[in-house]
Amino acid sequence: MVNVAILGYGVVGSGVAEVLTENNGQIDRKAEEDIRLKYILDVREFPQSPFADKFVHDFAIIENDPEVDVVVETIGGARVAKEFTERALKAGKSVVTSNKELVAEHGYDLLRLAEEHGVSYLFEASVGGGIPIIRPLNQCLAANEIEEIVGILNGTTNYILTRMIRAGLSFEAALKEAQQNGYAEQNPTADIEGHDACRKICILSALAFGRHVYPAQVSTEGISHITLADVAYADACGRKIKLLGRAIRLEGGKICVYVAPHLVDGEDPLSGVEDVFNAITVRGNAVGDVMFYGRGAGKRPTASAVVADVVDAAKHRKTKKYLHWDQGDPELVVSPEGLESAWYVRMNASIEGVRAALGEISALARPGAPAGEVAFLTGPMTAGALAEKLAGLGTPASQIRVLDKNH
Ligand SMILES: NC(=O)C1=CN([C@@H]2O[C@H](COP(=O)(O)OP(=O)(O)OC[C@H]3O[C@@H](n4cnc5c(N)ncnc54)[C@H](OP(=O)(O)O)[C@@H]3O)[C@@H](O)[C@H]2O)C=CC1
Ligand SMILES: N[C@@H](CC=O)C(=O)O
């Protein structure tokens, strides 16, 4: 018998309780053990919950119960979640989490702590919600040198962009829907400003390149400045705007890691990823491109990944299952400043002035554009070169990188 305790009965934690209970027979068969939910820790009471008899409010009960083998941490954040995770690992319990903030900030230390105490620290749900990506990257692609990872890593922002494009909703209205669906973080700024995607690309980079990558090392830009005008111009050139996390192995061993909105070509499979779905392309030097796709947020998809880790932790109680990467290196990660690409620009200027400054460009049109507004696609150049060329014309209202996977 394997006893499980869930910390935090919110969107994900309640989904974990549901899936563990509903799919109990299948889960036990896969784990080759009986897996039972013993406790749920939350600050609130849930008298109407079918699991009302399992609630406790003191973590020490779980920590001191030798029958608890696996702790599921779905509280979120990097404070109390960190304390409970450390205490659980030190008490010899495996910990499974969906908390990407904690893994991105403290994954190296927590993985070491888990190893020291002979238990597992697993976090399949921390990237891509229900999409299997951590295990495939760590195991199935283990034979490859990873050359690039690029993906839509945040369900909330992809949902917002899709609703703006498909239904013409304002940014605010689309965000409200995402929150009602349980996709957004407690503070949705983390989604909108790209911090959530940043945490996820940090975790994928650490697994792919073998060293902890801290969010502070990663240039991060969100989507709060994207307008319906940009969406319309992107559409006019057969592209979609997507918030992407990207990690590229450079010659000499450094990695370029960043998060930013991109214009993605209509032919690229990433452009067709809509709603709460996420997709991640990984390029290995042996396998080529591999793509992972599925629901990137939400109660049951995320619970699916958490429960898979519970099964894995249960199966590895004796043999142990360790994920591993080395400590971070301040010199490892470089910004995308040196990365050349085409750019989409919207600004107030004359198209003649733009042509004189930039040479060949593709001018874009949209219905209802105000007088004086121009939008265009440039040839390949760095962000610095673009800023230099546009310096005499004014500041762009919007400037978005065009995705070119061959950079
Ligand atoms: N929602 C999603 O789709 C996904 C979320 N995640 C991650 O999973 C984690 C959980 O997210 P989510 O379920 O959405 O968050 P929620 O806010 O819905 O759930 C967190 C729960 O933990 C409770 N809690 C807060 N502090 C404590 C405490 N000290 N002790 C016990 N319980 C506490 C909260 O109570 P209260 O509400 O009263 O504060 C709430 O019930 C986060 O790290 C998130 O980033 C990952 C993938 C997808
Ligand atoms: N807020 C996150 C939840 C899943 O990680 C998202 O929208 O992707």
Task: Decide if 240 is catalytic.
Answer: no
Q: Tell me, what's the pLDDT at 170? A: 87
Q: Does ligand 1 lie within 6 Å of residue 128's CB atom?
A: no
16, amino acid identity: V
Would the CB of 15 count as within 6 Å of ligand 1? no
Q: Is the CB of 10 under 6 A from ligand 1?
A: yes
Ligand nearest to the CA of 96: 1
Contact in structure between 311 and 27 (CB atoms under 8 Å): yes
Instruction: Specify whether the CB–CB gap between 404 and 341 falls below 8 A.
Output: yes
- The predicted pLDDT at position 322 comes to 79
Q: List, as one string, the DSSP characters of 162-225.
A: HHHHHH---HHHHHHHHHHTT-S-SSTHHHHTSHHHHHHHHHHHHHHHSB---GGGSEE--STT
Q: Can you read off the two tokens belonging to residue 205?
A: 């980079």
Q: Structure tokens of 276?
A: 């709460």
Domains of the chain: 2-130+300-315 (3.40.50.720), 142-293 (3.30.360.10), 340-402 (3.30.70)
Q: Which residue from 51, 60, 153, 121 is spatially nearest to 312, judged by alpha carbons?
A: 121
The string of DSSP letters for 68-130 reads EEEEEE-S-SSSHHHHHHHHHHHTT-EEEE--HHHHHHHHHHHHHHHHHTT--EE-GGGSSTT
pLDDT of residue 317: 82
Q: Does the Cβ of 159 fall within 6 Å of ligand 1?
A: no
Q: What does each C-alpha distance from 167 to 8, 170, 176, 280, 296 come to in angstroms? A: 34, 9, 14, 25, 21
Question: What is residue 407's predicted lDDT score, i.e. its pLDDT?
Answer: 52
Q: How do residues 355-370 score in pLDDT, each as one tens digit? A: 999 999 999 999 999 9
Q: Which pTM does this prediction carry?
A: 0.98
- What is the amino acid identity at position 401? R
Low-confidence stretches of the chain (pLDDT < 50) are: none
How far apart CA 407 and CA 340 sit, in angstroms, is: 6
**What are the distances in angstroms from CA 155 to CA 82, 177, 274?**
24, 12, 9
Q: Which residue has its alpha carbon closest to ligand 2 atom 3?
A: 297
Pocket around ligand 2 at a 6 A CB cut-off: 129, 154-156, 183-185, 191, 196, 296-297
Per-residue burial over 337-367, b = 16 or more CB atoms within 10 Å of its CB, e = otherwise: eebbbbbbbbbebeeeebeebbeebeebebe
From atom 17 of ligand 1, which residue's Cα is the shortest distance away?
Answer: 10
ipTM, interface predicted TM-score of the complex: 0.99
Quick one: how many helices (H) and strands (E) in the chain?
A: 14, 17
Q: Which of 38, 100, 200, 240 is catalytic?
A: 200
Residue from 6, 43, 61 whose mutation best tests the ligand 1 pocket (most atoms within 8 A of CB)? 43
Report whether residue 190 contacts ligand 1, using a CB cutoff of 6 Å: no
Q: How many CA atoms lie within 13 A of 168 on its CB side?
A: 0
Q: For ligand 1, is residue 43 a contact (CB within 6 Å)?
A: yes
Identify the nearest ligand to the CA of 152 by its number.
2
The burial of 181, by beta-carbon neighbours within 10 Å (0-12 exposed, 13-18 middle, 19 or more buried), is given as middle
Please give the Cα distance from 291 to 270 (Å, whole number): 9
Side chain identity at 92, as an amino acid letter? G
Cβ(41) – ligand 1 distance below 6 Å: yes
Closest CA to 129 of 319, 273, 306, 361: 306
Q: CA 328 to CA 206: how far, in whole Å?
A: 9
What does the alpha-carbon distance between residue 81 and residue 196 come to, in Å, rounded to a whole number?
17
Looking at residue 168, its amino acid is: G
CA 362 / ligand 2 centre spacing (Å): 35
Q: Which ligand is nearest to the CA of 59?
A: 1
Q: How far is the CA of 230 from the centre of ligand 2 (A)?
A: 24
Q: Which atom of ligand 1 is nearest the CA belonging to 80?
A: 29
**pLDDT score, position 222:** 98
What is the number of the ligand closest to the CA of 194? 2
Atom of ligand 1 nearest to the CA of 99: 43
Q: Which H helix or E strand runs over 308? A: helix 299-315
